[in-house]
Amino acid sequence: MDPTISAGLGYLIPLVGLIFFFIEKQNRFVRFHTLQSVLLAVSGFVLFFVLLFVGIALAFVSSNLGGLILGLGYILIPIGLFIGWLIAIINAFQGKIFKLPLIGDLAERWSSSGITTM
């Protein structure tokens, strides 16, 4: 399969990205993008739970503050995740490397051991 298609599909369905990451042993481009897609999905999942627990804790202190934090978080986090996902998927289909903040360096480090580039 074409590496750009494999990398792009990894963003569309993170489970497919995880499968491609373990199947593809040589192509650093595919490994990087598929791992970054999985890390993006996992970080989004974790962020939602952290926000939920922080919001619940703040609701005990002040219901207005808890509601405000939850409301803003549940608006801003999905927008940020979507923008990062969209930029990354476009770059993957174009054959470019785009590192998302924080998780991009981690994906690069974890995907680059002993493999070649595109």
| pLDDT level of residue 114 (50, 70, 90 thresholds) | very low
Greater pLDDT, 60 or 16? 16
Per-residue pLDDT at 98: 93
| pLDDT level of residue 115 (50, 70, 90 thresholds) | very low
- Answer whether residue 22 is part of any domain: yes
Alpha-carbon torsion 68, 69, 74, 80, what sign? positive
| Overall number of domains in the chain | 1
- Answer whether residue 55 is part of any domain: yes
Provide the 10 A C-beta neighbour count for residue 44.
Answer: 17
- Answer whether residue 9 is part of any domain: yes
- Answer whether residue 116 is part of any domain: no
What DSSP string runs through the chain? Answer: --HHHHHHHHHH-HHHHHHHHHH--SBHHHHHHHHHHHHHHHHHHHHHHHHHHHHHHHHHH-HHHHHHHHHHHHHHHHHHHHHHHHHHHHHHHTT---PPTTHHHHHHHHH-TT-B--
Residues ≥6 apart with Cβ < 8 Å to 54:
69, 73
- Answer whether residue 62 is part of any domain: yes
| pLDDT level of residue 11 (50, 70, 90 thresholds) | very high
- Answer whether residue 24 is part of any domain: yes
| pLDDT level of residue 38 (50, 70, 90 thresholds) | very high
Per-residue pLDDT at 14: 84
Full residue range of the structural domain in which residue 87 is found: 3-109
pLDDT in tens, 56-113: 888 788 778 777 878 888 899 999 999 999 999 999 999 999 999 999 999 999 888 6
